[in-house]
Structure 1
């Protein structure tokens, strides 16, 4: 496949030449940069590229052009380049137009002219837009291939791990794709080998564990040092924020993550109420940006490792990992977050990973193309998932226990769900049973008011029904409430049963019952359960870590 195209549009030939020159110098190795000096010429070029099946990654256009404005061009360009990212160059007087275009035509970003120096003003914006485009188009950028059965729980686990770690791949269904069958036969595979993972520079991996896959992709699965200033458990918003602040302030920092950066928030198709992003951003995008900051400041990230215990070893704290390894640190931040509460009905556990899933990645939506999809839950996470799935699914049915969405979901989501033609809401309803031979085939849904039950055909069920803290691995050394949320600071006051606070000084605000161990984000009792508050917790935990280290 030819290089993806970046198209620039400006009616001023000198400005057009300067813009193309800057973009070619920075991106010419990976992208073909083409220039047009009018909207009509740009549409003609886009039509030619579409006929040849050549991808367009980014359109950068001036707003003030004769005959056709930049916004008008971008609206028409959707016909031939629907997936291209859109960047509008505009004067300060046109910012209102640009903001309206965010909602009306899906403008990705607007930038005030002039863009000099490009290293500070233009390239960071283009880097983000091209990064988003690449992650959405792995077939253009990846040689990693996976062959498997779409109803395989192991295949879903591996694809989720890759997607959430921003590793592009190509998926081939062994039953549906001729290329999948060819690769399966070529590798001399058997059913037990599926999913078959074919890295570009290594031997085939046959039904690998996540850690094995991570190692084959040269992702870090082991810590590099014997002792750290701070070890952060969990790479959700709280853990990543803690990592940025700790590493930027000179602390030797390691983050241990069992799955992928972003935590539960990383699976969100859209976070629209996070300060500073008027168009919103995906959880994946937020995690990628935060991870880039973490890496820039030098924090380590250890992936695909479960933490199984926490020990106090003199002045150090030891995190016990699966495989008998341990990481020692002078302080610890627990940012393990929460997982979705289990749906306790017949058939769910047996079919998990085979049509039944807890949560949904933004990338899960494409596999539901033209199907009927059921989503259980009435909070924001369920609403965002329903809208994302509706982009591909024939119909999305939202199953809600309560009498209305307004009590549990933000109004902007309720309005969008109500306006969506292919989203149906079944209030006062619950799933009674899931059934199927090898994968989900039917659901039984009961109306909680009339007590009437109905069996419906279904291949996909995504569950969003509340949060359970990821603290099952902690022993009695860390005090938790009856639901498993970690007690910190003032919540430890008056604790009469072991474990009791062991020191004469009072615990610091986010400090747990083990001195030097802090809790941040959703895992902490009485946390706000919002991305912004988790980020704040992560930052505050490092401020408190500095205070603790100064005492020891």
Structure 2
């Protein structure tokens, strides 16, 4: 007879017995049928309880901890609890006067939410937060982390790319360095050599030697092949704009497929924390926002194809045909281009050779543990760079922001500037640029130039993360749709010149606001010329594009 599976645990920690009982009572009333409620009255007591639960194999879904406790405050407790129950979601209970502490917990300890006392009525103030914690835990927190094993070494650019691909697609994995005994043993067992890394060992034990993204995606169960050859709507690009189009298209009854070259989320998905997105007062990581949007699109029936590179777009009569890099095609009545932008390359000697080996584009969160105790440099002065500085400050010995401009105010939100000013190990160097990167096999030294004096200084660097603007990479659309001189796609009013519609426009109406120079092709998000480069506007344009798709389809 099989033993019953233990109920997941919801833990509450508060040194005030009355408050502790009240929280436990409200949790038991709503969640008692499916969860076991565990109460502790101090941080040390709660840590001991967590250790016992871990030894017994009882999963911990969420922890709610009071901020003001003797011996160990709530932030200190939750930081230690991460090591004992790493998959549990975390929330801080706090009084209004301690709101700053709660925000600090979100920024520095990756707490998911904070709750103000009192939380009456719980139906409005407590349960929605716990529902969100539980939903996230069920989606990502109960998967085994050792199904996929990655064998490699830190300074392999190919190994970094594989781990980044898995992480950005929310595929849990365990990493083994082949420079350590266990990694070397697994490498030998796989019949591989150091030249074969990365080696991906999937759940059934099959090793993949130096696999492509498409091979990794297929082995990990990600969808790479469409189930049909014709759809109502094809969405190209899986960032906020593309996910917005997929959610609204599928929810409104359109047969929708989203095609993504690498991983859903785009640049926003790599953000360590987005704090100015409407509806998330506690902030949300790009990965969390992406995961929720992807699951929402799937719930409504949208297909999501991963690791498929779109190389051509063609109008064939009323059909809009998309061709992949392997020569296969799918078609639809309408297309939404939401390919976003990519970080521009840093043009300095040595940077290209060391990319993936200490030099990274975007936040590269998979590298954070390896940065412990190192000096990290972040190049850029916009929000993405600021968010990365806050994130890496929790791991690195020092974080230096290298900014070409005279200040951060022109390019970074004020809330981020204030956060950075309050972090002791973050330094901002304005009017400064990287002029060279050097190292034996990996980044070791950067040469920084003061743009005012011309003085060049060599500094030791463990890692460098680059955020220096964006390029749309729309060369594959050359000759298909109109683009501006930087490659961004023109739409709507921008296509009307001297009162004239774009050349070859076949319809007796002007292009709709988000419509490209080919009818039935719509553009949303950062790839659109003159768009506002914000997550909220990208999602809004993705939704608006679907409304215009409906209008276009009604004309057919």
Calculate the TM-score normalised by the size of structure 1.
Answer: 0.88
Q: CA deviation at 1:287?
A: 0.5
Choose the corresponding residue for 1:110, options 105, 112, 115. Answer: 115
Q: CA deviation at 1:340?
A: 0.6
* CA RMSD in angstroms, aligned pairs only: 3.1
Write the distance in 1 (CA, Å) between the matches of 2:432 and 2:125.
Answer: 54
In structure 2, relative to structure 1, the CA distance for the partners of 1:77 and 1:191 (3 Å cut) is: closer
In structure 2, relative to structure 1, the CA distance for the partners of 1:400 and 1:87 (3 Å cut) is: closer
In structure 2, relative to structure 1, the CA distance for the partners of 1:109 and 1:295 (3 Å cut) is: farther
For residues 62-211 of structure 1, what are the structure 2 equivalents within 5 Å? 74-75=74-75, 77-78=77-78, 80-82=80-82, 85-87=89-91, 96=96, 102-103=102-103, 105-106=105-106, 108-110=113-115, 112-113=119-120, 121=128, 124-130=131-137, 134=141, 141-175=145-179, 177-211=180-214
Q: CA deviation at 1:188?
A: 2.2
Q: Does residue 342 of the first structure (1) align with residue 354 of the second (2)? A: no
Segments of structure 2 that go 5 or more residues without pairing to the other structure are 1-5
160-169 or 332-341, which moves further after superposition?
160-169
C-alpha contact 1:477 1:499 (8 A) present in aligned 2 = no
Q: CA deviation at 1:19?
A: 3.4
C-alpha contact 1:340 1:468 (8 A) present in aligned 2 = yes
Q: CA deviation at 1:356?
A: 1.2
Q: Does residue 523 of the first structure (1) align with residue 527 of the second (2)? A: yes
Write the distance in 1 (CA, Å) between the matches of 2:140 and 2:415.
Answer: 26
Paired residue secondary structure (1:526): coil
Q: Does residue 46 of the first structure (1) align with residue 47 of the second (2)? A: yes
In the other structure, the counterpart of 1:30 is none
Paired residue secondary structure (1:7): strand
In the other structure, the counterpart of 2:547 is 543
In structure 2, relative to structure 1, the CA distance for the partners of 1:126 and 1:387 (3 Å cut) is: closer
In structure 2, relative to structure 1, the CA distance for the partners of 1:416 and 1:80 (3 Å cut) is: closer
In the other structure, the counterpart of 1:504 is 508
For residues 195-344 of structure 1, what are the structure 2 equivalents within 5 Å? 195-344=198-347
In structure 2, relative to structure 1, the CA distance for the partners of 1:207 and 1:273 (3 Å cut) is: same
Write the distance in 2 (CA, Å) between the matches of 1:498 and 1:82.
Answer: 57
Choose the corresponding residue for 2:496, options 483, 493, 497. Answer: 493
Write the distance in 2 (CA, Å) between the matches of 1:308 and 1:250.
Answer: 27
In the other structure, the counterpart of 1:26 is 34
124-133 or 413-422, which moves further after superposition?
124-133
Deviations 1:450-500 (Å, cap 9, x if unpaired)? 111122222311111111013121131110001000000010002889854
Write the distance in 1 (CA, Å) between the matches of 2:63 and 2:325.
Answer: 47
Q: CA deviation at 1:184?
A: 1.2
Write the distance in 2 (CA, Å) between the matches of 1:536 and 1:398.
Answer: 31
Write the distance in 2 (CA, Å) between the matches of 1:62 and 1:417.
Answer: 26
Write the distance in 2 (CA, Å) between the matches of 1:268 and 1:286.
Answer: 10
Paired residue secondary structure (1:311): strand
Q: CA deviation at 1:8?
A: 3.6
In the other structure, the counterpart of 2:64 is 60
C-alpha contact 1:272 1:280 (8 A) present in aligned 2 = yes
C-alpha contact 2:66 2:74 (8 A) present in aligned 1 = no
Deviations 1:59-87 (Å, cap 9, x if unpaired)? 23689xxxx889x9634633642565334
Write the distance in 1 (CA, Å) between the matches of 2:442 and 2:260.
Answer: 30
In structure 2, relative to structure 1, the CA distance for the partners of 1:202 and 1:479 (3 Å cut) is: farther
Write the distance in 2 (CA, Å) between the matches of 1:463 and 1:205.
Answer: 30
Deviations 1:312-356 (Å, cap 9, x if unpaired)? 111101111011111101000000000011111211112211111
Write the distance in 1 (CA, Å) between the matches of 2:416 and 2:22.
Answer: 45
Write the distance in 1 (CA, Å) between the matches of 2:322 and 2:396.
Answer: 43
145-154 or 119-128, which moves further after superposition?
119-128
C-alpha contact 2:343 2:470 (8 A) present in aligned 1 = yes
Q: CA deviation at 1:102?
A: 2.9
C-alpha contact 2:89 2:133 (8 A) present in aligned 1 = no
Segments of structure 1 that go 5 or more residues without pairing to the other structure are 28-32
Paired residue secondary structure (1:522): coil
Q: Does residue 458 of the first structure (1) align with residue 461 of the second (2)? A: yes
Deviations 1:269-312 (Å, cap 9, x if unpaired)? 11111111111111111111111110110000000011000011
C-alpha contact 1:57 1:133 (8 A) present in aligned 2 = no
Write the distance in 2 (CA, Å) between the matches of 1:174 and 1:132.
Answer: 31
Choose the corresponding residue for 1:386, options 378, 386, 389. Answer: 389
Q: CA deviation at 1:441?
A: 2.1
In structure 2, relative to structure 1, the CA distance for the partners of 1:481 and 1:110 (3 Å cut) is: same
Deviations 1:15-66 (Å, cap 9, x if unpaired)? 7467358646435xxxxx4522x524x7424235458976865223689xxx
C-alpha contact 1:354 1:440 (8 A) present in aligned 2 = yes
In the other structure, the counterpart of 2:3 is none
In structure 2, relative to structure 1, the CA distance for the partners of 1:498 and 1:435 (3 Å cut) is: farther
C-alpha contact 1:307 1:321 (8 A) present in aligned 2 = yes
Paired residue secondary structure (1:211): helix
